[in-house]
Amino acid sequence: MTNERHIATPTRTKELLKKYDFSFKKSLGQNFLIDTNILRNIIHHAGVTENTGAIEIGPGMGALTEQLAIAADKVLAFEIDQRLLPILEDTLSPYDNVKVVNEDILKADVQQEMQQYFGDQKIKIVANLPYYITTPILMNLLTRNLPISSITVMIQKEVADRMAAAPNTKSYGSLSLAIQYYTEAAVVMTVPKTAFMPQPNVDSAVLHLELRKEPPVHVEDEKFFFDLIQASFGQRRKTLRNNLNRQFASRFSKEELEDIMSAAGIDGTRRGESLTMAEFASLANTFTARG
């Protein structure tokens, strides 16, 4: 197949839109990629090879799916929009190593689908995610304990920056800590608006998440650890002391909270954004020990 016939070109995308009388659904955050080089770059950053099984979320008209089919051993794609199924059947007809599942990734039994299709093969997730539902999808995948080695996704640049942010930066917050608890996160490339049809209103970036074999910190109570982090960023401009007093006033007196922070070696005048994950873990474990 010549490069001109690849799906990810403005000409071919327009042809398909016209042929199938397809209209973009804003509610599904549909923005199709029209730059083959960018797609190949994403796949390169994902580390996909002919031995890799790849999962895609929201294949659209198959632009990224096609490039994954060329690069990977097998591809499993989840598409929620039924209107795209006949288009995908058409565009992906040259490839016999792709399976499209018409399900919402948040509701699908991904583990079972993976087991049936890939067996024990090494799996990577590669996707151009709808911006409005990026965080729920990623957190859902990370907390399911799926047998995947990495996730490489095109998302809104601002969100990618937040997920990969380090302490003491403007972007660092509870989302950074949640993502980095499960993965090593890095923004690997930025993508111009002109690479999409229709063009989104925001800049995009590719985020690579390498899954950790175990979290970088030990916490006694995972749920409380994340609740504490959320509370610490409740009002970003306020000190840790103020945020924790606001959140835990019904359970601990001000004096008890001071004592807990002191025992954890944390100065209450600091702000949440200055604490490392290890410091949050120490603080959470001290709270848990106090009941």
Residue 104, annotated ligand binder? yes
Name the one residue in this structure whose structure tokens are 């699908």. Answer: 108
SS3 sequence of 5-35: HCCCCHHHHHHHHHHCCCCCCHHHCCCEECC
CA-to-CA distance for 269 and 289, rounded, in angstroms? 23
Residue 58, annotated ligand binder? yes
Residue 33, annotated ligand binder? yes
Reduced to 3 states, what is the DSSP secondary structure of residue 163?
helix
Q: Tokens standing for 91?
A: 């565009």
Asked whether 260 and 286 are in contact (CB, 8 A), the reply is yes
Task: With CA atoms as reference, report the closest residue to 125 among 72, 196, 202.
Answer: 72
Residue 128, annotated ligand binder? yes
Annotated binding-site residue numbers: 31, 33, 58, 79, 104, 128
Binding-site residues for S-adenosyl-L-methionine, in ranges, read 31, 33, 58, 79, 104, 128
